[in-house]
A = this chain, B = another copy of it.
């Protein structure tokens, strides 16, 4: 007998929805895309994910670390060096999130045309 899926994001009480909320997020997408190339320091992440505030990047990294998507390496140097890296689990997220980023870039001309048409009708 085939096993039923354990989780269903369409059910409000299913805890997997908290995971969808975490990954279906523009900052998560950009941080995971940035880290897919290599581990990075906070400062370099802030440069790559252009426009992210220190507060939002801190919160995003903490949430991704809690969900097992990012690992934080702390090196006992003076001053301490901290690097962020995708975990094996986090690397499985790269393809679907990169697909979203590419969609936004490839289809933005269509989206913009739709917005102009919608706004003209209002």
Contact = CB atoms under 8 A, between A and B. Distances in A.
A105 B9 CA distance: 7
A26 interface: yes
Contacts of A107: 19, 89, 92
What is the total number of copies of this protein in its complex?
A: 2
A7 interface: yes
Q: Is the interface of A mostly helix, strand, loop or mixed?
A: helix
A67 B119 CA distance: 10
Interface in A31-58: 33-34, 48-51
A83 interface: no
A8 interface: yes
A11, A22, A29 interface centre (most CB from chain B within 10 Å): A29
